[in-house]
Amino acid sequence: MSVLNGKKILLGVSGGIAAYKTASLVRLFIKAGAHVQVIMTPASKDFVTPLTLSTLSKNPVHSSFFNQDDEDAVWNNHVELGLWADLMLIAPATANTLSKMATGNCDNLLIATYLSAKCPVYFAPAMDLDMYKHPSTISSFNALKQFGNIIIPAEKGELASGLSGEGRMAEPENIVAFLEADLESKLPLKGKKILITAGPTYEAIDPVRFIGNHSSGKMGFDIANQAANLGAEVILVSGPTHFRVKNSSIEVISVMSAQEMYEACHKYYENVDVAIAAAAVADYRPKEVALQKIKKNAEEFSIELEKTKDILFSLGAAKKDQFLIGFALETENEIENAKLKIQKKNLDLIVLNSLQDAGAGFKKETNKVTFIDKNFNIEPMELKSKEFVAVDILNKVVSHFLKS
C-alpha cells in the first residue's frame, strides 16, 4: 500500500506546457488512495482544462478567489485550502511561479494558498534549459529550500523549445515515487517492528460451543493500522473478529485459542521492538474438550476449567529491550489494580479501561483510557474514537524511541 493512501494532496498547477502531465499525475494520486484538490493559475488553463482535472480528482478545481460565474460570488478560502492539505505539490512550477513563491508576490489564489500552507511543500520545476540555469531561477531554488520547501529535480530530455537538456518536469510516475520515498524516510516508526494482539480468544467446550468474551478486536486493529501508517513493520496476532486491516503491509496471524495466541506471540516476540497486548485473552479454558457435541440431557451441567497461560506475563518475563504495553479492563480499584499489573508483568506502559466510564469497553466505537507508565505517572485521556486512542498509544511509542 502506498504511503500516499489517505493523504490529502493539494496540487498547484502553473502555466507551462508541462501542465498537460498533471492529468496523469492526478490519476496516479487517486490510484494510490490519496484525496486530491487542484488549484490552477489562470495561465495554466491554456494548457489543461479545469474540467479534466476536476473529473480526475473528483473535486472542483479552484483558480480564482471567487467564482465569477456564481451569482453569490462564493469565496475560495485559500487559508482553508492550505490547512486542509497533508502536503502541497506545485507542478509544474514555472520560473514565474517560483519567483512569486520566493518573494511572496501574492497575485493569485495559488500563491495565496502556498503562503497559507502549514504542510510540507514540494515543487517540480519545468522550463527551458537556459531559464532553469539562470541565476534568478537558482536564487528562487535556494530561497525555497531555505523556507523548507522540497525540490523534485527537473529531468533531462527534449524541451518544448526543441532544444534538449535539463528543465523537463519530472514524469508523473517519478514524482509519485519521489514523494513516496521522501515521506517513507520521515515516518517516525520506519525500521521498527511491532507485535500487536487483538480480539477475543475462543476456548472450545465441544466442536460447536466455546467460552469467549465480547471483545470485537477493533482497538487492536486500529492500533495496527496506525502503526503501519507510521512506517512500522506490523505483525498482528488476532483472535476471531470480522475486522480486516486497512494496510496491506500488515502481517495478520489468525488464531482461535489462548494457547494459539501464546505460541504465535512467542514465535515473533524476540525480534520485535514493541509489543502491544490489546487482545482480551481468556483467563480459563475447559480442562477437557468433548470430541462430540454435548447433548442437552441433564438438568445441570458443569465444566471444569483450568488457567490459560498468561501471555502478557510471559512476554514481560522474556523482555529484553522491547517496549511492552499492556491493557487493563477494570471494574473497581482501577488505578491500584493497573499499577499491580505493571509490576507483576514487567510492563513499560499500561492502557487502563474502566467499564464504569460511559462510551468505553467492548463493542464500542469510542474508548476512554488512562495511561500509566512504569514510574506510575498517570495521564487520563478524554473520551475519543478508538482510531484517535490508537494515535495516542502510538504517540507514546514514538516518544519512547525519541528519548532512547
pLDDT tens for each residue of 33-84: 999 999 999 999 999 999 999 999 999 999 887 666 655 556 677 888 889 9
What are the pLDDT digits (tens) for 214-242? 999 999 999 999 999 999 999 999 999 99
Instruction: Write the CATH number for 344.
Output: 3.40.50.10300
Same domain, 239 and 126: no
This model's pTM is above 0.85 = no
Task: Answer whether 93's CB lies under 8 Å from 168's CB.
Answer: no
Is residue 68 domain-shared with residue 121, that is, in the same domain?
A: yes
Query: 165 and 18, same structural domain?
Result: yes
Q: What is the pLDDT of residue 361?
A: 59
Residues 255-266: tens digit of each pLDDT: 999 999 999 999
Residue 78 located in a structural domain = yes
The model's pLDDT over 139-192, given as tens digits with 9 standing for 90+, comes to 999 999 999 999 999 999 888 888 888 899 999 999 999 999 999 999 999 999
**Could you tell me whether strands 121-125 and 87-93 are parallel, antiparallel, or unpaired per DSSP bridges?**
parallel
Q: Which three cell numbers stand for residue 400?
A: 519512547
Q: Are 330 and 355 in contact (CB under 8 A)?
A: yes
Q: Are residues 77 and 119 in the same domain?
A: yes
pLDDT of 365 = 79
Q: Find the helix packing angle between 109-116 and 95-103, rounded to 10°.
A: 40
- Answer whether residue 132 is part of any domain: yes
**Is residue 320 situated within a structural domain?**
yes
Query: Which residues are CB-neighbours of 359 under 8 A, at least 6 positions away?
Result: 366, 367, 368, 383
Residues 20 and 110 in one domain: yes
> Is the residue at 227 inside a domain?
yes
One domain, residues 213 and 98: no
Tell me, yes or no, whether 174 and 209 share the same domain.
no
Task: Provide the percentage of residues in the chain whose pLDDT is more than 70.
Answer: 95
Range of the domain at 375: 193-285+304-403
Tell me, yes or no, whether 135 and 208 share the same domain: no
Of 132, 162, 185, which one is at a domain's C-terminal end?
185
Domain limit, last residue, from 185, 204, 233: 185
Q: How many domains does the chain have?
A: 2
Provide mean pLDDT across the span 76-101. 93
Q: What is the number of alpha carbons within 13 Å of residue 317 lying toward its C-beta?
A: 8
For residue 159, tell me if it sits in a domain.
Answer: yes
Q: Are residues 203 and 315 in the same domain?
A: yes
pLDDT of res. 344: 96
CATH code at 125? 3.40.50.1950
Query: Buried b / exposed e across 245-281, counting CB within 10 Å, b at 16+?
Result: bbbeebeebebbbbbbbbebbeeebeebbbbbbbbbb
318 close to 340: Cβ distance less than 8 angstroms = no
Residue 238 and residue 365 in one domain? yes
**For residue 298, is it within any domain?**
no
Residues 221 and 273 reside in one and the same domain: yes
| Per-residue pLDDT reduced to its tens digit, 352-367 | 987 666 666 566 778 8
Mean pLDDT score across all residues of the chain: 93
Determine what percent of the chain falls in helix, strand and coil, rounding each to the nearest 5: 35, 25, 40
Residues in the chain: 404
In a domain, 290, yes or no: no
Gap between the terminal Cα atoms of the chain: 29
**What pLDDT is recorded for position 159?**
83
CA distance 44 to 357: 55
Kindly state whether residues 30 and 47 are assigned to the same domain: yes
**Has residue 200 got a pLDDT over 90?**
yes
What is the pLDDT confidence band of residue 6, given thresholds at 50, 70 and 90? confident
Residue 297 resides in a domain:
no
Q: Known catalytic residues?
A: 213
Among candidate residues 134, 152, 185, the one where a domain is terminated: 185
